[in-house]
């Protein structure tokens, strides 16, 4: 999978499949852009690889925010 460096995704960016917060931005060859939550990005990863889409993945932020909330319990 190709990786793209792009501006950080914010809480305003929403998954095109379910409306959850997007952690993955996909830029298609024709210039179109898709946003996915981590779940739907994983679900469509094989197809995106086939398409040689450029992917900006910030899903690692989920792990760091989970660790933070666990520390505060």
- Report CA torsion sign: 22, 23, 24, 25: positive
pLDDT the model gives residue 45 = 92
pTM: predicted TM-score of the whole model, two decimal places:
0.76
The β-bridge partners of 33 are 27
pLDDT for the residue numbered 66: 54
Q: Which two structure tokens, joined as six digits, stand for 40? A: 């739907």
Q: Of 67, 63, 56, which is closest to residue 10 (Cα–Cα)?
A: 56
- Strand, helix or coil at 37? coil
CB 7 within 8 A of CB 1: no
pLDDT for res 40: 97
Per-residue pLDDT of the chain (73 residues; tens, 9 = 90+): 455 456 899 999 999 999 999 999 999 988 899 999 999 999 999 998 898 889 999 999 888 755 444 455 4
Residue 5 DSSP label: -
């Amino acid at each position: 999978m190709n990786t793209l460096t792009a501006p950080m995704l914010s809480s305003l960016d929403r998954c095109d499949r379910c409306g959850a917060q997007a952690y993955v931005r996909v830029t298609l060859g024709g210039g179109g852009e898709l946003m996915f939550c981590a779940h739907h990005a994983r679900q469509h990863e094989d197809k995106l690889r086939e398409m040689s889409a450029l992917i900006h993945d910030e899903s690692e932020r989920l792990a760091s925010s989970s660790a933070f909330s666990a520390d505060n319990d």
